[in-house]
Amino acid sequence: MHIDAITKAGLVTRAVDTVDRDGKPAKLVTAGRTYATSIDDLWDAVTNIERIPRWFLPITGDLRPGGRYQLEGNAEGEVLECDPPRRFEITWEYGGEISWVTVELTGDPGTDEAHLELRHLAHVPDDMWHQYGPGAVGIGWDLGLIGLDLHLTSGEDVDPEQVRNWESAPDARAFIAESSTAWAEASIAGGNDPEAARASAERATSFYTGADSADE
């Protein structure tokens, strides 16, 4: 599986902000990407419990408002809102922490172009933000958006074995580095200190590429 790392990373728009949630400051990480498919098809790809595993992770649960979901080996949460084919909001519960993910789709019905915007809002401890910055979640979502692209482009399932092989290949490391750098620049644009943002990006890159483990 070959992925043009620079091209794919460049297709994502990114923003980093600090906002208020429940009376406390929270970090808002936003990723956007346009896909060559209809808004209805894009909505189905990101909300159909039978289709989500074809590009992301196996999932179980009830994907209706008030229902709960579980991603295999990853987050679980509650479906808070669902407005087909435009918007849904879920909680993202992982490692004992709760954050919020909102996905909004835009596009004209009957056309083969639709835009996805994903917003991840979290109360991030200062030490965690200092260590990894927005790349902690941003790189992961960028990788997910690649899986969605591969599925929508081919119409086929993304092969988990090919993904595992790709993750250890130079293509993946190049994509992660490019993604991490882009998140650092978004962080700087959002008012964060440039030197700290770029240092956090280096640590996020090392984490995702396994360089931290290799150095131990």
In the chain, where the domains are located: 5-209
> Which residue stretches of the chain are H helix?
5-10, 39-47, 126-132, 135-154, 160-167, 170-189, 194-209, 211-215
Among 15-29, 37-51, 202-216, the minimum mean pLDDT is found in: 202-216
DSSP 8-state secondary structure symbol assigned to residue 206 = H
Mean pLDDT of the chain: 93
pLDDT tens per residue, range 165-205: 888 888 889 899 999 999 999 999 999 999 999 999 999 99
pTM recorded for the entire structure? 0.93
Confidence of residue 216 (pLDDT cuts 50, 70, 90): very low
Residue 213: what pLDDT? 43
Residue 109: what pLDDT? 84
Averaged over 76-84, what is the pLDDT? Answer: 98
CA distance 214 to 171: 19
Beta bridge partners of 93: 76, 98
Beta bridge partners of 117: 32, 104
Q: Has residue 22 got a pLDDT over 90?
A: yes
Q: Has residue 114 got a pLDDT over 50?
A: yes
Q: Has residue 1 got a pLDDT over 60?
A: no
What CATH architecture is 5-209?
2-Layer Sandwich (3.30)
Residue 166: what pLDDT? 83
Residue 2: what pLDDT? 57
Confidence of residue 215 (pLDDT cuts 50, 70, 90): very low
**Dihedral-angle region of residue 191 (phi above 0 means left; psi in -120 to 50 means alpha; beta otherwise):** left
